[in-house]
Structure 1
C-alpha cells in the first residue's frame, strides 16, 4: 500500500472539512494535483476534495460542523467549504451519462471508480484518505513513478470532452513528465483542429503556465511535431528554446518571469491576439522585441532594465554572448538621465522642429554611451536650426 506523507495532511482546517464529511458517513478524499505533487516531492498549492456526499449533503454536513459553505460550482457538484478562513473545493463523485464537448450530462455516484474515469490523466486520478493512504483506481501510480503522461481511458474520448486537454497534456508533460504515451501524442495530433473552437483566453492561460515550467523545451518541441504549436502560435520558432533554458541556468534569471522571455524567443506572429495578452503583457513583448535590436545599455535606457535583460538572455541563446559586466551596463543605461527638456530649446524652436531636435540630441546622448554633457547636446539640438 502506498502511503502519502505530506505536511498538508496535518493541516487543522483540512482535517475539519474531511471530518465533517466523514461524520455523515460520506467518503471524503483528497484528489488530483495535491496527491500527485506530494508523491513527486513538488510544492502543493491547493488541496481539493472529492466526496460521495451529494452537494446538498456537503452543505448540511459542513453547517453541522460549524463550517461555512459557498455554492461556487454547485451545478457541477462543487461546494467550497470554509475552514479557518480558507476555502476547500469539495466535489461530489460523478459519472458521465452523455458528453457534448466541454458540456456533459452527469449523474452523481457513490463509486470512486466512476469519478476517476471522468478525470483527464492517470496521474491526476489519484486519491488519498485523511490518513494518507493512496487510492489508485486507474493505474496512475506506475505512470507517476515513470513520469509518464497518459490519458484516463481512450485518449480520443478524453480530448473530445474538452479540446483544451491537448494543451494541458503538453503543459503537464513540461512540468511533471519524462515520457509521453505514443497513443496520447497521436490523439493530440489527430484532434488538434478542435483547439480552433477554444477561446484564446483559455489557450493563453495554458501557454503561460507551460512556458513557466522549469524546462518546457521538450514539450514545446513535441507540440511543434504534432502540429499543435503552429496552430495556437502561428509563426513560432522553438528551435532556440533549449539553448535559452541553458542560458537561464548559466546566468540566472532572478525575479524576471520566465514565460514572457520564452514567448518573445518563440516570436509568434501575433502573440497579443493568439493568447489574448493584457495591455501590459503586450507592451512587455513589444519592449523585449525592440530591445533585441539595440545594445544592452541603450535597450535599458529606452525600455527599462527588465526588458533589456530579457533581450540579453534571448540573444545569448542565439549565440551572442553578453560582454563581461553586462549587468552593470544595464544598470548604467537604466539610470541614465537625458539632461535636456523642451523648455531648454524654447523659444528658438517649437512644434515639429522642437520634437525633432530633442530626438536628435537624445540619439546622440545614447550613442555617446550617455557621456555627452548638456552644452554639447544643446549644440546638436540647435545645429539644424542654425544651418537653416
Structure 2
C-alpha cells in the first residue's frame, strides 16, 4: 500500500531521505504526517526516523552542506535544515525505563522496535520516500476507522507517560469517530491512572488542552474526560454540558473554534493551563453574566460581545438570540458623547468621576441613544 500526499514530493524532504539512504541507512516518514495522508488531512510537519545514530546523521548532513541543530540529541533527535525547511530526524528508539513523565531510551535498529514505544496505533505508521507504507502494529485500519487505540497494554502505555491520558482525549477529539465511541479499554485505563495527571507540569497540560479544545468538535472527548475524572484534574469545578451546547451555537452562528470561548463555557479553575494575562482577562469577560451584550460590545468590541453572548446562551441551554447579535453590532464602536470637561468647573475630583460614570451608565441603559445635552441635564 502506498500514499501520495503533496508533501511526499517536497524536494527538501526527499534530499534528507536521500542523504540517509545513499549512505546505506533507512529513512522513513513517521507519525502524524503519515496518519493524516491516510485520512486525507493536512500535515503540519514532517518527521523522519532512521537507524542511523544521531552523530551519523549530523556527519552526513554536514557533508551534504545542510545546517544541523541538536534539538534533542539525548533522545536521538537532530534537526536538519534544507533550503530553510527544518526536518526532525530521530533515530529508532526503545524505552529502557520510564517514570510517568520522562523516559530513558536506547537506540534501536528497526521500525518494529521503534513502533512499540509510541502511544497509539495510528501514530505508529511509517512511509518510505516513495510512499510505501509500513504498519507494524495495525494502525492503518484504526486510522481509517477513527479508532484511537493504545499500542499494546493501555495501562503500561499510560504509566510510561501520564500525559498520554490527555493525548488520548485530544486524538479522539481530532481523529476519533464519535459514532463509534471512544475506545473502552483506553478509557478504563485513563480512569485507573487519572491521579497521574497531578504530577504533570502546567506547560504540558496547557499545550494538550489547547490542542484538544481547538478541534472542530471537542465536546464528546471532553464528556469522556469528565466521565473518567480527568476533566476535574485539569479544570477543577468544570462541567462538560455547556460545551456541547456551545458547539451547536458556534455552528449556527458561523463562529470559528476558539479555545478561550470554549474554556469559558466549561467553567472551573483554569490555573493549571497557564493562561496568559490577556487570555485570563478575556475568559473573565466571557463569563461575566452581569453586563448587557451592548455594553460588552461598547467596552470590548462586537466579536467579544458575541462570544460572551454565546457562552451565556450555552449556559442556559438555548440558542443565541438575534437580539444579542443586534446589540453587539449596536454597541461596537460607540463613543460616549460627554467628557469630563463638560462637567467642569462645577464638579471636581471624586464628584467629577462619579458624574461621568453615572452619565455613562444612563447612556448605556438608553441603548446609546441619549445625546450630550440630555446627559448633561
Q: Sort the TM-score into its range (normalised by shorter chain).
A: over 0.9
Partner in structure 2 of residue 293 of structure 1:
290
CA distance in 1 between counterparts of 2:230 and 2:359 reads 48
- What is the CA–CA distance in structure 1 between the aligned matches of 2:321 and 2:146, rounded to whole Å? 39
Partner of 1:240: 242
Determine the structure 1 residue equivalent to 2:267. Answer: 267
Q: Which residue of structure 2 aligns with residue 364 of structure 1?
A: 362
> Does structure 2 retain, via aligned residues, the 8 Å contact 1:53–1:92?
yes
Where in structure 1 do 4 or more consecutive aligned residues deviate above 6 Å? none
**Deviation digits for residues 304-362 of structure 1 (CA, Å, limit 9, x no counterpart):** 22221102222333344444365443222011100222222222222221211111100
CA distance in 2, matches of 1:239, 1:97: 42
Match of 1:204 in 2: 206
Structure 1 equivalent of residue 376 of structure 2: 378
In 1, Cα distance between the equivalents of 2:195 and 2:320? 41
SS at match of 1:180: coil
CA gap of 1:170–1:323, structure 2 versus 1, over 3 A, is closer
* Map 1:178-217 → 2, pairs under 5 A: 178=177, 179-217=181-219
CA distance in 2, matches of 1:9, 1:253: 34
The equivalent residue for 2:307 is 310
- Tell me, yes or no, if the aligned pair for 1:33 and 1:44 is still in contact at 8 Å: yes
| Cα shift at 1:108 | 1.0
Segments of structure 1 that go 5 or more residues without pairing to the other structure are 380-388
1:173 is paired with a residue of what secondary structure? Answer: helix
Aligned match for 2:351, one of 347, 353, 358 = 353
Aligned to 2:4: 5
Contact 1:315 1:321 (8 Å CA) reproduced: no
For 2:323 and 2:226, the matched residues in 1 are separated by 36
State the Cα distance separating 1:245 from its structure 2 match: 1.2
Match of 1:55 in 2: 54
Change (3 A) 1:163 1:342: same
**Aligned counterparts of 1:325 and 1:287: Cα–Cα separation in 2:** 19
Gaps of 5+ in 2: none
Find the aligned partners of 2:123 and 2:158 in 1 and give their Cα distance: 15
RMSD: 1.5
The Cα shift of 1:287 comes to 1.3
Question: After superposition, where does 1:1-388 map in structure 2 within 5 Å?
Answer: 2-178=1-177, 179-254=181-256, 257-268=257-268, 270-271=269-270, 273-290=271-288, 292-317=289-314, 318-324=316-322, 326-379=324-377
Determine if contact 1:71/1:78 at 8 Å carries over to the other structure.
yes
Distance 1:295 1:44 in 2: 42
For each residue in 1:354-378, what CA deviation from the matched residue of structure 2 results, as whole angstroms up to 9, or x when unmatched? Answer: 2111111000000011011111112
Q: Aligned residues, how many?
A: 373
Secondary structure of the residue that 1:96 maps to in structure 2?
strand
Given that residues 70 and 79 in structure 1 are in contact (C-alpha distance below 8 angstroms), is that contact kept between their aligned partners in structure 2?
yes
Which whole-Å CA distance do the structure 2 matches of 1:323 and 1:51 have between them? 56
